[in-house]
Amino acid sequence: MERRLVAILAADVVGYTALMGADEAGTLERLTYLRHDFLEPLIDKHHGRIVKLMGDGLLVEFASVVDAVACAMIWQDGVAEREITTEEIKRLRFRIGINLGDVIVEGSDIHGEGVNVAARLEALAEPGGICMSGDAYRQMRGKVEATFEDLGECDLKNVAEPIQVYRIATPGSAAASATTEPSGPWPKPAIAVLPFANMSGDPEQEYFSDGITEDIITALSHWRSFPVIARNSSFSYKGLNVRVQKIAQELGARYLLEGSVRKAGPQVRITAQLIDAKSGHHVWAEHYDRQLEDIFEVQDEITNRIAAVIMPELEHFEHSRLRAKPTHDLSAWDYYLRGLDSFYDENCEGTVEAIAMFEAATKLDPTYCDAWARLGWCHARLIMFDCVEDRQASLARGLDAARKAVALDDSSALAHMSLGAVHIWTEETDLGLAEAQTALQLNPNFAHAAMAVGNRLDLVGCGAEGIQQMERGLALNPRDPVRWRYMAYLARAYANHGEPQIAVEWARKAVLLRPDLPEAQFRYAICLGHLDRTEDARAALERCNALEPGFVARKANWQPYADDERNQHLLSGLRRHGLLP
């Protein structure tokens, strides 16, 4: 009978039975992916051997405790990162126990008290946590950078003597949260754009792939949400085969954008992928196939498309990561992201919550331009959503915040967008349009600014130009959380521009996106009225009042346009059929 001294790692999935009951197929798919694509390569890299796989767990042996602990820490960190975008109730979490002990070897299996202790230690660990025995701790002390908590001697089931137990702080564990850096002004996560690879086999095409990379760096720098690493730093990795984690560490970036260009005859395929460098996970990926009739036109188009979508994707991903962070440990950036989430609720409650979050961000960092800008915009929204009685007080607070943002950074598109939004509600439409145009000049890929310019052009009588600009804004960001509102703006513009059929289609799309909002239903009813679809319009108005009693009566004299004739025409379809007074 062979015996040997090994480090044993026991791991199992927390709440496996409940996870399977809630989503059997999804749980099995994600668990299989984790094992094949992450855990097995990770274990192999740390010189471990999987002894056995159970439905909800693994038993692994290592010749070195240091390897076992290093593997376990990356394991827990990596799983947490990969599951961050999964609904919390469905997330996979592991408990891990590590012991150094004598085991009996039978073929490929091992058993004995050393294995039993590891399994009992695993049961002591919290979700996402690691517990280890005193014997294992003494062998690796000072050799692994980690925070340890001494839990004292613990009685373990079916183990004769008490065992000294230590807990390792991992992201998301109680021990880790106690050692997290205090909140303070940032840091914002940075993004680096790596040189796009020329896959064409033609060295002369290098200028095209480099040109796209440089243009994307320039375009992204117009956004102020995330710092962008300078071109010279990014291009130092051109042609080198370096791990993304190492590049990110050396550049001080959290996210990397990489891609390739493949030209074949008159066609070109450009791929791009955004990577979370810490986990190696893809946040976003896309490819673009184009005819190379005008190489510079293609370069401009692809640059603009990528630049328009990357920053909103990063904000979305950062917020999904934030949901797992303790509320007592929020930075200005964290508060900003929470405010942004409530901002997109598009109602009074969400706007009030967003104001509280943005105010908290500005208190932690009084120089935070974006937080001041969103704060000003929110006060304008209180008027738009009819949330307050004292409109003048809200507008005064909105102007103060928006002007503060512009004073902090006059080159911020968001700051000028905010100031323009407030001016619209102070009935200074010309100033509102001018500020929105400034925002769009500062950042041509800012979808909200493009929509605002288009909307305000329509409101002052430039319908055709406004429609063109709004359609461009919609194309810039296909995942915009307030996309429904811009569709509703387009519907109104087409209705007043003599295109009721197109107007109904845009209004219908807005309702499909947000059927819970009376504003969307009301715009739909207006457009249906212009097509003389009386009963459909009546049903839409009934849905408005069901969602918010009295809504239709309050909108009966809606006058968004600068001239009375256009306002009268807007509601004429509903009035013609007796649906509005």
Nearest one of 42, 13, 48, 11 to 30, comparing CA atoms: 13
Q: Does any domain span residue 139? A: yes
CATH number where 246 lies:
3.40.50.10610
51 and 160 part of one domain: yes
pLDDT bin (cut points 50, 70, 90) of residue 319 is: low
Q: For residue 180, what pLDDT is reported?
A: 34
508 and 578 part of one domain: yes
Q: Which domain holds residue 215?
A: 191-312
- Distance (Å, whole) CA 342 – CA 319: 11
Tokens 């390569």 sit on residue: 41
166 and 260 part of one domain: no
DSSP string across 383-425: HHTT--S-HHHHHHHHHHHHHHHHHH-TT-HHHHHHHHHHHHH
Instruction: At 560, give phi and psi (nearest 5°).
Output: -80, -20
109 and 204 part of one domain: no
- DSSP symbol at 54: -
Q: Does any domain span residue 522? A: yes
98 and 209 part of one domain: no
pLDDT bin (cut points 50, 70, 90) of residue 42 is: very high
159 and 80 part of one domain: yes
pLDDT average, residue stretch 68-81: 89
pLDDT for residue 174 is more than 50: no
Q: For residue 325, what pLDDT is reported?
A: 52
Domain boundary among 278, 312, 346: 312
Token pair listed for 532: 């003389």
The pLDDT mean for the chain works out to 87
162 and 212 part of one domain: no
Token pair listed for 107: 């073929």
Q: For residue 184, what pLDDT is reported?
A: 33
Q: Does any domain span residue 120? A: yes
Q: For residue 179, what pLDDT is reported?
A: 33
Q: Does any domain span residue 364? A: no
- DSSP symbol at 225: S
pLDDT average, residue stretch 292-319: 83
Q: Does any domain span residue 326? A: no
205 and 117 part of one domain: no
Nearest one of 170, 174, 210 to 193, comparing CA atoms: 210
Give the start-end residues of each E strand in 222-378.
255-264, 267-276, 281-291
Q: For residue 222, what pLDDT is reported?
A: 80
Q: Does any domain span residue 216? A: yes
Domain boundary among 243, 278, 312: 312
pLDDT average, residue stretch 327-335: 73
pLDDT average, residue stretch 406-415: 93
147 and 231 part of one domain: no
Domain boundary among 261, 295, 312: 312
Residues 6 or more apart whose Cβ sits within 8 Å of residue 247 = 192, 194, 237, 253, 256, 277
User: What residues does 2 pair with on adjacent strands?
Assistant: 105
pLDDT bin (cut points 50, 70, 90) of residue 534 is: very high
pLDDT average, residue stretch 189-201: 89
Q: Does any domain span residue 184? A: no
Q: For residue 183, what pLDDT is reported?
A: 34
CB-side neighbour CA atoms (13 Å) of 80: 20
pLDDT average, residue stretch 345-370: 93
Q: For residue 328, what pLDDT is reported?
A: 52
Q: Does any domain span residue 476? A: no
59 and 17 part of one domain: yes
Query: Would residue 288 be called left, alpha or beta, if left means φ above 0 and alpha means ψ between -120 and 50 degrees?
Result: beta
| Count: domains in the chain | 3
562 and 502 part of one domain: yes
| 482 contacts 447 by C-beta, under 8 angstroms | no
pLDDT for residue 56 is more than 70: yes
Share of the chain above pLDDT 90, in %: 51
pLDDT for residue 173 is more than 60: no
CATH number where 573 lies:
1.25.40.10
4-13, 448-457, 472-481: lowest mean pLDDT where?
472-481
75 and 149 part of one domain: yes
**227 or 196: whose pLDDT is higher?**
196
CATH number where 147 lies:
3.30.70.1230
pLDDT average, residue stretch 451-462: 93
Q: For residue 171, what pLDDT is reported?
A: 46
- The amino acid at residue 296 is F
Q: How far is CA 123 from the centre of its chain?
A: 34
| CB atoms closer than 10 angstroms to residue 296 | 9
pLDDT for residue 547 is more than 60: yes
Q: Tell me the pLDDT tens digit for each residue of 248-290.
A: 888 888 899 999 999 888 889 999 999 988 777 788 888 999 9
